């Protein structure tokens, strides 16, 4: 019996962890969105908040009142860049501000404006958040607040 249990102990995790990956649920997305929105409201900023899954597909989007409509696509593009390249759009922004940085503009789906952050679980990418509506630095602050809410 003891041996059997040990066998189960040794075998189960192997089966369980074999080739699976974590993912964001709609509940996760709403918690992240709420955290981002709380920060936005506290600062008096109105933004679009987009949450994508690990394939770059929308789980949720929320546009606060009065936000420019251009921000709907911008928020999604930032989030897409973040999950496609597993890095903050701020990193691309910094490269683009340097010498020859315009080359980033020739990479499909890369966005060089702060406000998009990848979301990881146990080191595995599960999705991203994209914010647009205020300045890019402010968008970035809200995105960070969102990720912290995960």
Tokens of 7: 């066998």
Q: Is 7 in the site for a second copy (CB under 8 A)?
A: no
| DSSP assigned state of 49 | E
Select the residue interacting with a second copy from 42, 103, 135, 137 (CB under 8 A).
Answer: 103
User: Biggest alpha carbon distance in the chain?
Assistant: 67
Place of tokens 């991203």: 128
Tokens of 78: 């930032």
Beta bridge partners of 53: 127
What number of CA atoms fall less than 13 Å from residue 106's CA on the CB side? 4
The answer to whether 140 and 115 are in contact (CB under 8 A) is yes
CB of 141 to a second copy, least distance (A): 18
CB of 131 to a second copy, least distance (A): 13
Q: Is 10 in the site for a second copy (CB under 8 A)?
A: no
Q: Is 44 in the site for a second copy (CB under 8 A)?
A: no
Q: Is 25 in the site for a second copy (CB under 8 A)?
A: yes
Site for a second copy in 126-145 (CB under 8 A): none
- Nearer to a second copy by C-beta: 32 or 113? 113
The answer to whether 22 and 54 are in contact (CB under 8 A) is no
- The residues binding a second copy (CB under 8 A) are 1-2, 5-6, 8-9, 12-13, 16-17, 19-23, 25-26, 53-65, 68-70, 72-74, 77, 81, 83-86, 92-93, 96-113, 125
């Amino acid at each position: 019996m003891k041996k059997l249990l040990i066998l189960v102990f040794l075998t189960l995790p192997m089966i369980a962890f074999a080739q699976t990956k974590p993912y964001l649920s709609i509940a996760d997305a709403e918690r992240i969105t709420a955290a981002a929105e709380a920060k936005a409201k506290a600062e008096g900023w109105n933004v679009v908040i987009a949450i994508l899954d690990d394939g770059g597909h929308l789980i949720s989007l929320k546009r606060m009142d009065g936000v420019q409509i251009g921000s709907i696509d911008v928020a999604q593009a930032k989030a897409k860049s973040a999950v496609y390249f597993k890095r903050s759009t701020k990193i691309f922004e910094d490269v683009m501000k340097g010498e020859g940085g315009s080359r980033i503009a020739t990479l499909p789906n890369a966005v060089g404006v702060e406000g998009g952050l990848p979301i990881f679980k146990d080191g595995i990418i599960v999705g991203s958040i994209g914010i647009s509506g205020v300045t890019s630095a402010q968008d970035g602050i809200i995105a960070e607040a969102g990720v912290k809410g995960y």
